[in-house]
Structure 1
């Protein structure tokens, strides 16, 4: 309610300035110089106000509940409701991931896993549920990219951590909630243990409260997509507004791979909390950094809306974060950063909303709850008796 009142006053003030303010003495000059900014500012304010009016918060629930996210499960499983999951459907997609079975409350997996730490991260959440799950067979994709195209190819059930609207994969919480995330110099064995990061990053957020944060944008990451180039180039022109630099990744060979500059050092998630405005870009698929940024109580700018993980759908643009279109120009990035620098109270409130959502609705218990609901509902769709595949190995 507070932000809606504030936005109403700001919109009215901007409109009054546009029609009766300092520009009124010279309408032609006002139109040529001030209107573009006023138009952008009015549009942003109106979108924030509309988003807050239509936002319905997740219901209050017990610590082990995850009703905030369960509509995603219903939507992802809907294509299989009419016929259920048949043996033929599973066999049609065996090459798209790692085969798992649950038979008599025992977990089996094919012997070879393309990414062992990712399989381990997935199994961490499945093993505690075995006593309550029915027999089932599933194909779990541990690659970054989803597998089942909506408009062509097989339509069998494949579980993937991330997808766009072009895919029919069934989303599950990424392995990196426990282990197997991106391996970088700061985390040579991969990013994981979301429970520990929740504590350490939120503590860093307290160390740098909003009033003490550096009032500029910040980004550190490798050049997995050229969508990030415009922010890095803007930083090179205006370091007072944004500090964005490329780091090395495994494919780095020369400064050409970091947009003709020497690679910057990596920065811990905790040290991101020094800055007011944090940028998130997709990588090969959805970015693993996204959820971590909110814990700083900084304002998150989320570029592109195509890629999703299971928890994205319960978050609302302009309420929890600032949405930016894919491949923004330097001018567009500069404009929106300047807007929030000039509207600090709004920036702070959106940052607080984002933090509260992640803190309340993306606990490790929420992740475990999602796995329970997903596998329970998936198991109900099985239309054949699953027998142990002797080529698989027993996990637990």
Structure 2
């Protein structure tokens, strides 16, 4: 501050000297009535003097303030990469990773609307809480038991999951512990990595019946399974799909290659049609010599793709059509988020299953609803409507991709996991303890022994440092009227589309 005062005093003295000099000059030569030219010269002199001052001021005062401010700059963030031992010794967990979460910034952001469903998914246990006996009942189909005690993760495995589902699910939970160290309470849960939900609500009709709490990737209206982010957010090694953060970046770049109006004006789908009857039925809608349903459908042969280096399965290259089709498989499909991330209008064939985020999206706002019992005619009408209402169709596609790109960033995925596990832990009626047959997990123990694509994706999705912020703020639960309005709004939007569709085909049939 003393230096600033000195600079200001110097400026003040300089100003007085220049004014006195001007008065003397004027008084000597023109006495009382200076000419307009002289006044102009004076102000030009004053203007250039001001410019000199600003330049000097910028170089002196502001640079001084900047140097003072730099004293308080946030230090560069320390990172904690994997520490794999290069010896034959058993891999151990490092001791230097922060055990406390000290965020630089507070959180004043409310979580996206789909977080409200955490309250609904856990509602069956609001009255009874969750006992150890309930958890043991969930073991019947579980692939593993996860226990978190004092910020450390322990796993007890029961059976092998398909591919690397269980491995990357556990990896994701370990990254959550690195993202928010020491923030998760002690807890114990069972996880089933298969597709279809298995906890029927009809078997637990009352509020005090105590269904087994079982976590999985999707559920439906007839079951009480608790939905959790799927493994592919950290990578799908078997089919070379990178961690979500990197795939999303690629798709955003892919969206820029072709403007929506210049894209192929057909509906596109590529996948494995043999996993479910509903997908086999979809293939009947493919364009052919005999019929044109405005669709281009392709069979994905993953065996051939793996042998050819996955050259034809890059998700960023699949945003070239105005419309993309989403259809479930045995249950919900992992492809959902990749399809919605394109700016194309998603033609969402009626799904009987939901994952953790889709309940935050609305028909006619984020996607176009398609009937599941008359797919071909429904798809053809959707494309016809879109090509005749290009601005509206483009807006729906953009709203859907904006939702995925903004509300489904990895930061929100971790926040969803954090809030779900916190709310779940509040319901436990017992003190979690480390099972005798369990194994402690950390990122090094999981990633260091593996090789190839699996390790590559783990390194890519590794959380290097704790989060700079606290988790987003949980929204309040739905009250009964809000929930009723939610279902009515979705139903009405779908019925409106079906009404338009009926009118379209009615007019076609009259001709």
Residue-pair matches, total: 316
Distance 1:180 1:144, change over 3 A: farther
Contact 2:371 2:378 in 1 (8 A): no
Contact 1:201 1:296 in 2 (8 A): yes
Tell me the distance in 2 between the aligned counterparts of 1:207 and 1:391.
Answer: 52
Q: Does 1:137 align with 2:193?
A: no
Q: Which residue is 1:394 aligned to?
A: 440
Q: Which residue is 2:417 aligned to?
A: 371
Distance 1:112 1:87, change over 3 A: closer
Contact 1:64 1:366 in 2 (8 A): no
* 1:45-84 Cα shifts (integer Å, max 9, x gaps): xxxxxxxxxxxxxxxx969753422211100111111111
Q: Find 1:209's aligned residue among 254, 259, 277.
A: 259
Tell me the distance in 2 between the aligned counterparts of 1:66 and 1:121.
Answer: 24
Contact 1:220 1:267 in 2 (8 A): no
The alpha carbon displacement at 1:266 in A equals: 5.0
User: Residue 286 of structure 2 aligns to a residue in which SS?
Assistant: helix
336-345 or 167-176, larger mean C-alpha shift: 336-345
Q: Does 1:160 align with 2:216?
A: yes
User: Residue 207 of structure 1 aligns to a residue in which SS?
Assistant: coil
Distance 1:235 1:328, change over 3 A: same
Q: Which residue is 1:278 aligned to?
A: 324
Contact 2:342 2:401 in 1 (8 A): yes
User: Residue 122 of structure 2 aligns to a residue in which SS?
Assistant: helix
Q: Which residue is 2:234 aligned to?
A: 178
Contact 1:114 1:142 in 2 (8 A): no
The alpha carbon displacement at 1:359 in A equals: 1.2
Contact 2:324 2:339 in 1 (8 A): yes
Tell me the distance in 1 between the aligned counterparts of 2:276 and 2:197.
Answer: 17
The alpha carbon displacement at 1:388 in A equals: 1.4
Contact 1:294 1:300 in 2 (8 A): yes
Q: Which residue is 1:235 aligned to?
A: 286
* 1:113-164 Cα shifts (integer Å, max 9, x gaps): 5237322322233222451122211001111222211113882100111011
Q: Does 1:221 align with 2:271?
A: yes
Tell me the distance in 1 between the aligned counterparts of 2:243 and 2:367.
Answer: 24
Contact 1:279 1:302 in 2 (8 A): yes
Q: Which residue is 1:82 aligned to?
A: 127
Q: Which residue is 1:93 aligned to?
A: 138
Tell me the distance in 1 between the aligned counterparts of 2:199 and 2:109.
Answer: 31
Alignment of structure 1 residues 339-350 onto 2, 5 Å: 339-350=385-396
Distance 1:62 1:320, change over 3 A: farther
Tell me the distance in 2 between the aligned counterparts of 1:271 and 1:158.
Answer: 37
Contact 2:147 2:189 in 1 (8 A): yes
The alpha carbon displacement at 1:306 in A equals: 1.4
Distance 1:347 1:63, change over 3 A: farther
Alignment of structure 1 residues 210-359 onto 2, 5 Å: 210-223=260-273, 224-237=275-288, 238=291, 241-248=294-301, 267-359=313-405
Tell me the distance in 2 between the aligned counterparts of 1:123 and 1:63.
Answer: 29
Greater Rg by CA: 2
Distance 1:208 1:287, change over 3 A: same
The alpha carbon displacement at 1:85 in A equals: 0.7
Tell me the distance in 1 between the aligned counterparts of 2:157 and 2:346.
Answer: 41
The alpha carbon displacement at 1:192 in A equals: 4.3
Tell me the distance in 1 between the aligned counterparts of 2:285 and 2:433.
Answer: 58
Distance 1:62 1:348, change over 3 A: farther
The alpha carbon displacement at 1:342 in A equals: 1.4
Contact 2:386 2:393 in 1 (8 A): yes
User: Residue 132 of structure 1 aligns to a residue in which SS?
Assistant: coil
User: Residue 416 of structure 2 aligns to a residue in which SS?
Assistant: helix
The alpha carbon displacement at 1:393 in A equals: 0.9
Task: Return 5+ residue gaps in structure 1 as ranges.
Answer: 1-60, 251-264
Contact 1:215 1:276 in 2 (8 A): yes
TM-score of the pair, normalised by structure 1: 0.74
Task: Return 5+ residue gaps in structure 2 as ranges.
Answer: 1-105, 205-209, 304-310, 443-511
Contact 1:63 1:365 in 2 (8 A): no
User: Residue 316 of structure 1 aligns to a residue in which SS?
Assistant: coil
Contact 2:236 2:243 in 1 (8 A): no
Tell me the distance in 2 between the aligned counterparts of 1:157 and 1:130.
Answer: 25
Contact 1:164 1:306 in 2 (8 A): yes
Q: Which residue is 2:489 aligned to?
A: none
TM-score of the pair, normalised by structure 2: 0.58
Q: Which residue is 1:121 aligned to?
A: 168
Note the aligned Cα RMSD (angstroms): 2.3
Distance 1:111 1:171, change over 3 A: closer
Distance 1:197 1:211, change over 3 A: same
Q: Find 2:113's aligned residue among 38, 60, 68.
A: 68
